[in-house]
Amino acid sequence: MRSRIHVLLFLLSLLCAGFLQITSGSRLLNEQQVGTQLPCGQQVAGQQACNQQPSDQQPGVQQGQQQPGVQGQQPQQPGNQQGQQPGNQQQGQGQQPGNQQGQQQPGNQQGQQQQPGNQQGQPGQQPGNQQGQAQQPGNQQGQQPGNQQGQQPGNQQGQPGQQPGNQQGQAQQPGNQQGQQPGQQGQQTQPVGICHGTFADNQPSSQEAVSLVQSTGIRRFRLYGPDHNALQSLRNTGIEVVLGVPNEQLQSIASSQNNANQWVQTNVQNYQDVKFRFIVVGNGITPAHDQTSQFAQFVLPAMQNIQNAISACGLQNKMRVTTAIDQSEILSQSYPPSQGQFRPEVRQFIDPIIQFLVNNNNVPLLVNLHPYFSYVHNKADIPPELESSGKGGQHPRLEYATFQRSDAIVQDGQLGYTNVFDAMVDSVHSALEKAGGSSLDVVVSEIGWPTAGGDAASVEIASTHNNKLIDHVLNNGTPKRPQKRIETYIFNLFDENKRDSEEFERHWGVFWNNKQAKYQINFQSQ
């Protein structure tokens, strides 16, 4: 009897030991299968969503499973690979949802339809993108924005400090070319733009105007105020738009941030598929001129409020806020160019504006300048004594005004000037240097030549001036800044028959109002 009891106890102990081993094994198996659970709350292939097999992956990545839109990737920490900083990936690996090798977020495909925001004469790229690729800023073949192959965010090819969308070590802002800030120019040529003044009752419609600009290959377009028909037509064209805030609206915008917010919402944010380059707050305003002095006090606060509104929308990296001045109205001296300086009576007006531009990453100052006025009104920019140097019936003052001299006929210290355009631009550079704006570039926001109605106003001379102007600014800087191509806008697209000043001011159009060119002109001349 006692031996039977011993046998039963022995068998019972064996059964208990086996049960404990089975229970332990089951628990280990469950831990291997389930792992650490995250509160995702959905079953995926028998597991809680976001759970893992034992591997190198962090929560959210499963062996044999992919994050949405991710294909063919190796186990990794979210977004990181092979010693990269967070968000840095090698091609085709470690993508965030939606970024795949061969699959891109909308607009990220090689050779596919591009979004507006162009460089190097190619239509339809997002700001900062090159080589025919329609990428989101900084995305290349499944990478996080701006990151490539083990670099810090925003850097490429191991070089620091690039903006999103930059390639080959260039520090570009959206929409610009090879190392330039928005609106600045370096060695690369820039497209020449055109202005669209509308003091007329016989011009083609805004839609026709935009179609004409597209058909002629013009890449930049200045509007003096919000023209919603034009803005609608400019959607997805890749044309860069310089949009003006009219003088008459400055007081309202300066007096209320809400008014500025509404202006930006209505005229800018509602057209995010339009490529805005500059928002130009006021045009040709100076306290020294009776016709514009009443607006002068509103320019800077309006600029500040528009900048605030753009920043609040997250658009501050897509466009820049500036103003446009008239060279002849705001300089007290422009000849020789090195003596250029602002009128004493405008310093209180212009100096704070210059500091605003400097403090906002050196936004260029827009300048309207017209060699024609200097020529017909015998202004000092074109020295009267040049007449005495004429040969064989030539008119050296006119030649100097229209880029027809190759020799330096105005000498300013070490710098020689062959044309008045360079001299006028450098006079503004000199004035800026004296007013704390030496870091600013100049954009020529108006320049042209009339085809009728005044002395030397003809189709032939206008053709000479504008074609030689295009060739000059595409290939040369000024003597003072020879490495800077001057961004330039020709005035005007069409004639304006409602201008009530001198007759020649009604005839600045490059095109007749039937949309035919008055003379042959190529905005991409080299």
Region of residue 188 (phi > 0: left; psi between -120 and 50: alpha; otherwise: beta): beta
The CATH number given to 193-506 is: 3.20.20.80
Residue carrying the six token digits 């570039």: 441
How far apart are the C-alpha atoms of 168 and 155, rounded to whole Å?
Answer: 9
Average pLDDT over residues 467-487: 96
* Residue 40 tokens, joined: 């995702």
Average pLDDT over residues 6-10: 59
Region of residue 504 (phi > 0: left; psi between -120 and 50: alpha; otherwise: beta): alpha
pLDDT at 294 over 50: yes
How far apart are the C-alpha atoms of 134 and 401, rounded to whole Å?
Answer: 42
pLDDT in tens, 308-344: 999 999 999 999 999 999 999 999 999 999 999 999 9
Residue 275 β-bridge partners: 240
For the four alpha carbons of 101, 103, 108 and 110, in that order, the dihedral sign comes to positive
* Type of residue at 110: Q
How far apart are the C-alpha atoms of 7 and 259, rounded to whole Å?
Answer: 96
For the four alpha carbons of 100, 103, 106 and 111, in that order, the dihedral sign comes to positive
Closest CA to 331 of 297, 298, 369: 369
Contact 508, 194 (CB under 8 A): no
Residues 6+ apart with CB under 8 A from 134: 107, 108, 109, 112, 113, 114, 115, 124, 125, 126
* HSE of 211, CA atoms in CB hemisphere, 13 A: 8
Residues 6+ apart with CB under 8 A from 350: 325, 330, 342, 435
* Residue 376 tokens, joined: 């017909």
Backbone angles phi, psi at 271, to 5 degrees: -125, 55
Helical H runs in 339-458?
347-359, 371-376, 396-401, 420-434
How far apart are the C-alpha atoms of 212 and 200, rounded to whole Å?
Answer: 17
Q: What is the pLDDT of residue 11?
A: 63
Q: What is the pLDDT of residue 14?
A: 61
First and final C-alpha spacing in the chain: 115
pLDDT at 27 over 50: no
pLDDT at 127 over 60: no
Q: What is the pLDDT of residue 13?
A: 63
Q: What is the pLDDT of residue 365?
A: 98
User: Domain extents for the chain?
Assistant: 193-506
Give the distance, in angstroms, between the CA of residue 249 and the centroid of all CA atoms in the same chain. 24
Above pLDDT 90, what percent of the chain?
A: 59
Q: Greater confidence, 223 or 86?
A: 223
pLDDT at 50 over 60: no
pLDDT in tens, 418-430: 999 999 999 999 9
Closest CA to 451 of 516, 522, 387: 516
The pLDDT mean for the chain works out to 75
pLDDT in tens, 341-378: 999 999 999 999 999 999 999 999 999 999 999 999 99
Q: What is the pLDDT of residue 5?
A: 57
Work out the pLDDT band at 524, boundaries 50, 70, 90. Answer: confident
Residue 222 β-bridge partners: 195, 242
Q: What is the pLDDT of residue 94?
A: 36
* Type of residue at 169: G
pLDDT in tens, 57-115: 333 333 333 333 333 333 333 333 333 333 333 333 333 333 333 333 333 333 333 33
Q: Which residues of 318-351 are buried (b: 16+ CB within 10 A; e: fewer)?
A: bbbbbbbbbbbbbbeebbbbbebbbbeebbebbe
Average pLDDT over residues 2-29: 52
CA distances from 511 to 342, 493, 494 (A): 35, 6, 5
Work out the pLDDT band at 148, boundaries 50, 70, 90. Answer: very low
- 14-23, 130-139, 287-296 — most confident range: 287-296
Q: Are strands 320-326 and 341-342 parallel, antiparallel or unpaired?
A: unpaired
pLDDT in tens, 151-184: 333 333 333 333 333 333 333 333 333 334 443 3
Q: Greater confidence, 400 or 123?
A: 400
How far apart are the C-alpha atoms of 165 and 397, rounded to whole Å?
Answer: 46
Helix (H) or strand (E) holding 48: strand 47-48
User: In this structure, what is the dihedral angle of CA atoms 267, 270, 273, 278, given to the nearest 10 degrees?
Assistant: 30
How far apart are the C-alpha atoms of 174 and 113, rounded to whole Å?
Answer: 18
Q: What is the pLDDT of residue 190?
A: 73
* Residue 320 tokens, joined: 């820049």
pLDDT at 522 over 70: yes
How far apart are the C-alpha atoms of 503 and 497, rounded to whole Å?
Answer: 9
Q: What is the pLDDT of residue 386?
A: 84
pLDDT in tens, 397-416: 999 999 999 999 899 999 99
Q: Greater confidence, 198 or 47?
A: 198
* Residue 217 tokens, joined: 């290959």
Contact 149, 80 (CB under 8 A): no
Helix, strand, or coil (residue 323):
strand
How far apart are the C-alpha atoms of 305 and 296, rounded to whole Å?
Answer: 15
